[in-house]
Structure 1
Amino acid sequence: MIRKQLAAVVLAALASTAMAQEAPYKVAEGNKVDAKTLNGWKVWRQAACERCHGANQEGMVGPSLIEGLKKYTKEEFIGIVVDGSHADRGMPPHPFLKGEKIDSLFSYLKGRSDGKIAPGKVNPME
């Protein structure tokens, strides 16, 4: 009886973890994305993030976001972008990137980091 209860708890925890890790983006054919993710690409372009992180998010003066989003949680990412990190010699704060803007930017960059979204321009899903 205890084994069955333990197994049920473990399965519930695994299911919960899988749901929590659901991708924040939707992509088809490598460059067709949902509206939220498309907005994230637009935020990327408007904020001119490529000046430091490279056109394909692989790093230049600033670090690779492809690798960074493999290790940072969404909350850590938001903190780094909004509040800055080592602003005197690194990432300046971007307090204007809040709410929907930062959420959609995370979706786009997470899709790039996961290898699901191809580099370059993205288009809306049909």
Structure 2
Amino acid sequence: GFTKSSSPHFHKQPWWSFVACFSFCCSYVRREFLSFVFDLWLSQVLQNDIDLLNPPAELEKRKHKLKRLVQSPNSFFMDVKCQGCFNITTVFSHSQTVVVCGNCQTVLCQPTGGKARLTEGCSFRKK
């Protein structure tokens, strides 16, 4: 059977820690399920309709960066134009730090978990 936990603090954890753990597990399961369904759909489509030597760019873009026909990164460098002084700064797409303009110290982009989020009004172009 079950044994009682030896930790005296087991029942003193806040209830939201269990909710957070549950929601993380659900998001992980959902992501794995969607990945499985997409791979299944992709394999069916590939078996029927697609030339394997020349796959459509749309399908290649959706694949993981290491599972493409030719491996290519998802990240890129871009020129970002400041909305205040129109100074151009080179920024990495997945920057993990806040990037500010060299002239006017305006925030150009902020990091997220993946790609950096550009400030509204800033224009950019890929290099």
Higher RCO by CA contacts (8 Å cutoff, separation 6 or greater) = 1
TM-score (norm 1): 0.28
Return the index of the structure with the highest Cα Rg.
2
